Amino acid sequence: MNALSIPTWMIHVSSVIEWIAAIWFIWQYGEQTRDRVWWGLSFAMLPALVSAMCACTWHFFDNPQSLEWLVTLQAAMTVVGNCTLMAAGWWIWRSRDKIADSETPASTPKEV
């Protein structure tokens, strides 16, 4: 555990806790609104959480060569997480676009 200083550990651990809380709050928002796009966003956040946990685990054991595969897994989960978050953002954007279209009143024919 000597690989990182205490303040750096505090940042790492608090970031993971904050990410877990964000996932939970977004899920709860989806529950309240019954809007699936928010559930999708919370699922899309999971690969980034796995990435962060890989980094914390590797540092916790003092960055040993035997756990070098965690670095590769972290990198892969970062890429996957970025892609899933991009897809979730696109899904949210598209759903808002559809809501805006459905709220626009249909044009009425003009009287002659």
* pLDDT > 70? residue 109: no
Global pTM? 0.82
| HEC-encoded secondary structure of the chain | CCCCCHHHHHHHHHHHHHHHHHHHHHHHHHHHHCCHHHHHHHHHCHHHHHHHHHHHHHHHCCCCHHHHHHHHHHHHHHHHHHHHHHHHHHHHHHHHHHHHHHHCCCCCCCCC
* pLDDT > 60? residue 107: no
Amino acid identity, position 103 = E
The whole-angstrom separation of Cα 54 and Cα 61 is 11
DSSP state of 1: -
Interval 56-85 mean pLDDT: 96
Mean pLDDT computed over every residue of the chain? 91
The whole-angstrom separation of Cα 47 and Cα 73 is 10
What does the domain layout of the chain look like in residue ranges? Answer: 6-99
Residue 96 is predicted with a pLDDT of 85
What's the pLDDT band for 98 if we cut at 50, 70, 90?
confident
